[in-house]
Every structure is written in C-alpha cells, then in structure tokens.
Structure 1
C-alpha cells in the first residue's frame, strides 16, 4: 500500500508539472504550426495566397498595415473580382464599430456609461429578474459583463419582410441559434462574469435610437461613417451600394442568399477593406500629423475602448466592444474584433497594435474560421506569442498531446514499478 501511495504521489506531481509545461507550450505556440515560419511580409502574403488556394474562400480581402498605413493588400474570389471597395458583411466585427458609435453618443452627452440602461428606454425594458436590473449599464453591455444570458448568435432572415421589430427581437428573437433562448434578460448577477451577448448590442441599438431620435443606421452614418470618411459603410445596404456587395457562400462551397437582420448593431455592418483601413487609422497618429480620432472622436474615448474591462486568468480579454488579444507593452494590448457566421459562412478579423501602428484586416466569405486563423498567425509571427482566439483554438487541437503526455507518465511509472518488483532492486523513489 505504501508503495502504491508513493507512486500515486509521483504520478500526481509529474502530471502537474506536465500540465504547467503543456499550458506554457500553448501560450508560446509550441504546439502551433503557423502558415509560415518567416516573419517578413512577402513570405506571409505568399503563405496566405497558398492557403486561400488550398482552402475554400468564396471572397477574400486582406490588408497588412505598417506604421499606420497600408503596406500590402491581397484579394481572391470565386465569382466576380474583389477589390478594396468591394462590400463585405462583417458579422460580429460590427460590434467594434458600433461601440465607437455608442461612445460618440456618450461624447454628445446623450448617455452616461454607468447609468442604468432601463432609465433611458421607453419602447422596451429589461424584464424583471431575480437580479438587480439597475446594475445593467452601458459600460457593462459594451463589455459583456451585464449578466445577460441570451447567447445570441443571430442567424438573420432570408426574407427581408420577416425582419422583426427591435422590441419583438429583444423579447424573443426568431432568428436565434437553436441552442439559445433568444430572450434578452438578466440571468446572472451583473459584473460577476463575462458572458458574450449579441442581445446586449441589440439593446444598445435601441438605446442609440431612443437617445438620438434617429434610426440606428442614420445615427451611425451621420456621426461615425461620414465624419471619418467611411463612404461605403452602412448597416443597411441600399440599391446604390448593392452592385458592390460580394456574393455569399456556405461552408460546403455552395452559394448562399443574403441574410437580413434586426440586430444591426451586433452583426449587420456592411463595409469595405478601404473603409476599415480608414477606421484602423483613427486609433493612431498619422504620418501626416493627423491626430488620433481625426478630430471626430476624442483620443481618450478611443483609449477607453481598449482598456481592459474584464480579465480571465489575470489577462484582460475585453474592453468596450473590443477584444483584447495579447498584452504587449506600456499597458497596451493588441486589440480589435472578429466576426463569425455559419449561415452563410462569414469570417472577419482586425488586429491593431497601438504601439507600433502595425496590424491586419481580413474579410472573407465561405470559410468559418480562415480570417481568424490568418490574423492570429500574423500576431504569432510578429510577437512569438499566441493571442486569445488562437489559444482557444489550440486548446481543442492540442488535447491529444496533453493526453499522450499523461499516458506516457503513467506507462513509465508502471514500467518502473514492474522493473523494480522483478529485479528487487533498491528503492529509487523515496
């Protein structure tokens, strides 16, 4: 029995050591095979082009940013040609741009970040819950810490006439994922956990409309897109822009229809690579001396967007409408947002390094995760570290390695025990 206890203790200690090594390996990319091991832009672009040929992407546009300006652009399509002015629907990357619009409403004095959101709303109110709804604030909605448990995930509607009103969608979204209730309500105590909520941004959409007196798209156009010269960006595509809209694809390479959304703020932004390059640059001082925010958004507002508002395992993961991918230096993080839809397949990503002015923008249709993988590989090659989304992808892919390590530990200990028993050698484990 004593021998068994000793071997069990040794197995436990070795397993803990292996777990530490494994997690350290995940964080440093030991188990990751990037699309290229070369760090220069030309090699990276060549690897991207090879990857897009090997994997299906119905439409693809990429920009590499260097010192705040465009260094390289790449385009690919299976249908009509794609260029920097082709319009893509960007799924949840919409939240990043929406957050800037919400913060503009703060700058205009129409709302306060820490006032209970129900105080601003007349058309719809958060339903009663066992928790204090007054703790649901704009800040917490932007940072996904408001306690909402909707899990949305909007699929949209193939028929434009099926679109719900904002109020009806907030009560029960008809285009919710099957795994989601579709109901926007407080299900956990606010500010006690990070819970990604598409419904929270639909609630912010209603807030913008109520406090501005404009439709959401009108407010974003007049207060964000036009002032920042984002001429092809909109949450609702009109006839004048429709000819530049790229086609949609499913993951099985078949063509897909355009989907329409009530949840504009959360998932329905239509924009171009060119406009997102302009959006990227508002976070930086331009080479021509243009200030941060281009005198349209206050620099302190843009800084607040990327300040950590929730942390996991000691690492900040989310700001106000921004994903925080990797801490770098001077208290800054590589930040941005990704967008993903499975019906139709859309994947988009933007990464911004506010210290160097470098970054990457990827827009694509027809592949569920290609843009995220490419953007995360760019971060990995630039920093030698794994960003938040790449880490989550590697955890699933690397579990086989973790299990193999544990099995090896077990087999070695069993082998040592049998060898000692057979040979009756002196004790080697004290």
Structure 2
C-alpha cells in the first residue's frame, strides 16, 4: 500500500511513461493538485514528431473547450460588478444580435452559459481561414443572422460553441476591452497563470504542434495541416496553457475564487451559482448535469466539476473534486487518442486505488493491425488478447467507429471500410458500425 506522495508520483510516472511509449500518441502533459497545492506536473512524449522536441514544463497546449470555463468566470465577475444580469436577454448587451426566427429575442445570458438557449452548434470553425483582428467576434455574431434555433430557449440542454462566442462578445462590449485582453487582466494574471494566453502569437515559442491520425508512414500521429486558431472562436476554444498553469487555475476554483496570494477573482456565492446543476446532459455519471459553464457529476462517490476540450490536433480535460482539494489536468497534442483512461488512472491513484497500468485503446491497437495487415490479422490478434492480455485495454465501440470516420476524413476510405468490417465482427449486435459500413460501401 502506498502511503506517501513520493511513492504515488513514482507510480504515476511509471504508468504514464509506459502508456505514452506504447499508445499511438505524440505527447502528453499532466498536472495534479492535492490538498489545494500543486503536487506534480510532467510532460511525456514530443511536442512535434518531426523535430522530436520533448514535451516539458513550459510546453503550451491548446485547451479547446476548457476555455469556456474562463468565459463563465468572466461573465460571473461582471455579474458581481452589476454590469451583467444573468437573466437579461442577449439583445440587452448586443443590439445587433439577430437570428432567423423571433425566439432569439428570448435568449438570456444564463441560457447561453448552461447550453439551454436552443442555439445550434458550429460545424465550420474556419481554422483554415482564421481572423486576427479585434472585430472578429462581432463579425461572427452578426454572421449567424440567417440561422434558426433548434428549440425554444430554456427548454433543454444542447451543447453549443456558438453560445460562447456570443458570451465573449458580450464581455468585450460591456467592458470596452477585447475579449482576450479581459481574460488576461482579470482571470489569467490574477490566477498566476504566468505563461497562458488566448493569443496564439503570444504562445508560439512554446506551443505544441497539433497531430491528426495518419497511416501513410505507419499508424499514428501526423502533423495537422491547419492549426485550430481563429479569433472569431476565441471564447469557445483558444486558451493556451501548460500543465502548471492549469494547476494554478484549478486551485483558484477549488478555493472558490481565492488565489493562494489572497486575491479574489470571484466570490464563493458565484460558485454556488456556477456549480448548481441546471439541466441533465445525458453524458453519463461524470458529467450528468450542466451548471454555468461547468459540467457537474460524480466519480466513485465524489462530486466532480469538469470540462473537456477537443479541437483539430488537441484534446484536454480538467477535473476538480471540490470536496477533496484534488484536481487533475491532462492535455495532448493529438485529437484521436481519448484521455479517459489517463485521467481516471490518476484520479484512482489520488483516491488510494493504484491501477497497475493505464489501459490502452483496443480500437487503436486493432486499427494499427487492420491498416497494416488486414481484418483477419486484427481478428486473430483480438482472439489472442481474449486468451491473455485483454485486461490491459479498454473496449469502447464508439471509438472504433470514430477512428474509422477519422481515417475516412483523411482520405483513407479503404482503411476505414476494413476497420468497420472488423468492428461489425467484434460487435455483431450493434447497428451503428453496420450502418456506417453500408453507408461507405454504397457511396461512389
């Protein structure tokens, strides 16, 4: 039984190093908070597979949708100052906000924060056509005038990145600052996030390179042709931070708005509002409800508040256990290896359960074999694992289908078809892989 932090850290370093060595991912960074203090930060793997530069304590990662928690914090700061009313309509602050049906006039700030506005989600972030000027957000808000709501405002949860671009624009208009400037002055700097920024050009020197799934030179990460940056989508996506800064950010929230230096970025009463479940999400126990910008749930009997992030070439996860003084931040410079098994292994270790290893993705293990040697070889490998070794992997049907879709999107149609053929064999009772396979076979 491990009874010291040093022993736990040694255990985590061993299983994390082993995981990155054998999983098909370029790099990983981990930050751990225990007893409301930074316990451990470490990087593994590489920032860039071409240069081989290692991930270290200074490496910044695109945090993707974790950025939304900073937006929520900013909105609540302005609520406390009397500059924003959560239940006021969006048009109170943005008179040019218009949509195609009249229901848009009913949308409130609160509904944007908790994803119950009825707003659709964005399907083109224009990462390949980025905007860099201060008017990017306003232009984006104006550009959605032809879109319609999916349902009545306040009716039900539906995750929408568009909502957070609108919130970012509200922050800018209410304060007279750019969104990024407000974040820097009132959240990033007071939280002690020394290297963090919402501006890509300020992060470039230490920024990890995004990787997407490739098979041309062997199965694994290839450098993305685009970087996920666009000031029109800054609020929903573009916080850049390293593991240590994310720990500092987590500590401020664990302390309900108080920094270790005694500053206050938000009152404890605002956390009562942010961390109160507003609606059910259907996302499972860990994020079963939505608060104001944070997901609320439970992990092995402990209350958690969290947010995850994924954009082209990056994934991230921030989890707080507010009643224990524990937080975990994990981030990777690829968008195809899911982080669930990583953060759960870390949480288990912090809670006194010490997994012998971090479970790897069966989907990626068998996909690698399928793309190299075919379905029969992958099926034989799976049968061998069933006899000995399957416990080292997690089995998630959705990941097989998602991986096939990624292969297809990268132009590897035949590999995608072979992987779906394997998935149908592995999950014969499921209609999802079968339907997707039929769809690809019938497409010209």
Aligned to 1:117: 90
Specify which structure has the bigger relative contact order, considering alpha-carbon pairs within 8 angstroms and separated by 6 or more residues. 1
Aligned to 1:305: 274
Question: Conserved in 1, the CA contact under 8 Å of 2:31 and 2:246?
Answer: no
- 3-state SS of paired residue (1:350): strand
The answer to whether residue 72 in structure 2 is matched with residue 99 in structure 1 is: yes
Change (3 A) 1:234 1:156: farther
The answer to whether residue 26 in structure 2 is matched with residue 68 in structure 1 is: no
Equivalent residues, number: 341
C-alpha separation in 2, matches of 1:292 and 1:317: 32
C-alpha separation in 2, matches of 1:350 and 1:338: 6
Structure 2, unpaired ranges of 5+ = 1-6, 47-51, 215-220, 354-394, 401-423, 431-444
The answer to whether residue 334 in structure 2 is matched with residue 366 in structure 1 is: yes
- 3-state SS of paired residue (1:321): coil
**Match among 240, 246, 259 for residue 208 of structure 2:** 246
The equivalences for 1:9-408 within 5 A come to 42-78=10-46, 79-122=52-95, 124-129=96-101, 131=103, 133-149=104-120, 151-158=121-128, 160=130, 165-172=136-143, 185-239=148-202, 241-252=203-214, 253-256=221-224, 257-261=226-230, 262-285=232-255, 294-312=263-281, 316-326=288-298, 333-341=303-311, 343=312, 345-379=313-347, 382=351, 394=396, 396=398, 403=429
- 3-state SS of paired residue (2:316): strand
C-alpha separation in 2, matches of 1:277 and 1:354: 14
- 3-state SS of paired residue (2:339): helix
Question: Conserved in 2, the CA contact under 8 Å of 1:63 and 1:73?
Answer: yes
Structure 1, unpaired ranges of 5+ = 1-38, 174-181, 385-392, 405-430
Deviation at 1:210, TM superposition (A): 1.0
Question: Conserved in 2, the CA contact under 8 Å of 1:65 and 1:72?
Answer: yes
- 3-state SS of paired residue (1:102): helix
Question: Conserved in 1, the CA contact under 8 Å of 2:279 and 2:291?
Answer: yes
Q: If you compute each CA radius of gyration, which structure gives the higher value, 1 or 2? A: 1
Change (3 A) 1:107 1:45: same
- 3-state SS of paired residue (2:249): helix
Question: Conserved in 1, the CA contact under 8 Å of 2:200 and 2:229?
Answer: no
Question: Conserved in 1, the CA contact under 8 Å of 2:61 and 2:331?
Answer: yes
C-alpha separation in 1, matches of 2:251 and 2:233: 27
C-alpha separation in 2, matches of 1:259 and 1:312: 26
Q: Over aligned residue pairs, what C-alpha RMSD do you find?
A: 3.4
TM-score, length-scaled by structure 2: 0.68
Question: Conserved in 2, the CA contact under 8 Å of 1:58 and 1:248?
Answer: no
